[in-house]
Amino acid sequence: MKSFFKVLVLNAVISGTAVCGYAQKGVQLVRNDAQRKVDVLFNGKLFTSYFYPVDVYKPVLYPIYTSGGTEITRGFPLNPRPFENPDHPHHIGSWLNFGDVNGLDFWNNTPSVPADKKKNFGTILHRSIVSMKNGSKQAVLKVTCDWVDHTGKVLLKEETTYIFGGKGDWRTIERITKLTAQQETVTFTDNKEGMIAIRMDRAFEEPTGRPANYLDAQGKLTKERTINDEGKNGHYRNSEGQEKESGVWGKPAKWVSLSAKKDAENITVAIIDHKKNWGHPAHSHARGYGLFSTNNMGNRSLAARGEEDKRPLFVEKLNPGQSTTMKHLIVIKTNGFATDAELNKMFADFNK
């Protein structure tokens, strides 16, 4: 794993220092083709980067910071930090993909997949930066991507618009993704692995009281399994008042939030669904170990054990030339946790 991520680690470290020399007011996009990224700066300070490394197999937003400068995303595998859990190396920053597109798994693809298994996986390839627009209150980035199989055949053309905004203690990322089928019908079949997701920093994990292997102070995997819940204080809550992973996982909701205290900051991160999306209200694929995901296409697969037959199987098809557009809003609040009333208002405003 070290070998195929070593270049990515370098790029991730560079991301944290790339803002030097940029003191411009407002929200600014800084393109860097050599490092395959576009930095997003608020008043010269890094908020996140649209990052499309070759070996991640999908574009991601990484890292992501609060307005106070605290990183909310896990460092592993790009820039591992001590005491992180090194599971699921395909969980990087924030991304959007799905586990069953014409039978192909776009979610779990990594360079470690054996060659004889590659035919079962898909890749999202960044193709172009269409436009970048800076502003005093927000910046807009438009990109195109291809969803391809292992031979490079294009199943879907993706056109995505990112709107980076916010003021004061708030930051927002509005993601509008249009997917268009190409030469054959594309079928999305009920799967728990999806759809818009963030892999969160250790502070946002729920304490487990169970032993596990962690990275040590040098970033190496420990040999002994230990109980290490220090600093973990994540708390899930959704628009229906359900709480913790056990309460929100698999449940439909207009929004789901994850709150924690890190570096003296009280932080809430929320994913807000749009009512015109397939499968609204989306089901939560939120895990206590730090995966924070909202899945518009995981109805039956996210049901509680024994309850699967009570939910209809999600299946949607796009014939050649047909499109669907998915809209999501990521909210990041610091210096005080977001309230239900604030998130309900943001849902209403997002859905006007």
Q: What is the pLDDT of residue 22?
A: 55
Residue 124 vs residues 60, 104, 297: alpha-carbon distances, Å: 10, 12, 18
Beta-bridge partners for 179: 158, 324
Domain ranges, ordered by start, for the chain: 83-350
Cβ atoms within 10 A of the Cβ of 203, count? 19
Residue type, 53: P
pLDDT value of residue 204:
98
pTM: 0.93
Q: Would you give per-residue pLDDT tens digits along the chain (352 residues)? A: 444 444 444 444 444 444 544 557 899 999 999 999 999 999 999 999 999 999 999 999 999 999 999 999 999 999 999 999 999 999 999 999 999 999 999 999 999 999 999 999 999 999 999 999 999 999 999 999 999 999 999 999 999 999 999 999 999 999 999 999 999 999 999 999 999 999 999 999 999 998 888 887 777 888 788 888 999 999 999 999 999 999 999 999 999 999 999 999 999 999 999 999 999 999 999 999 999 999 999 999 999 999 999 999 999 999 999 999 999 999 999 999 999 999 999 999 999 9
CA-to-CA distance for 108 and 90, rounded, in angstroms?
A: 6
- Please name which of 138, 122, 186 lies closest in space to residue 29, comparing C-alpha atoms: 138
Task: Give the SS3 label for residue 230.
Answer: coil
Taking the C-alpha atoms of residue 212 and residue 223, their distance in angstroms, rounded to an integer, is 10
DSSP category for residue 337 = P
Instruction: For residues 322 and 34, give the distance between their C-alpha atoms in angstroms, rounded to a whole number.
Output: 34
Which DSSP letter does residue 211 get?
-
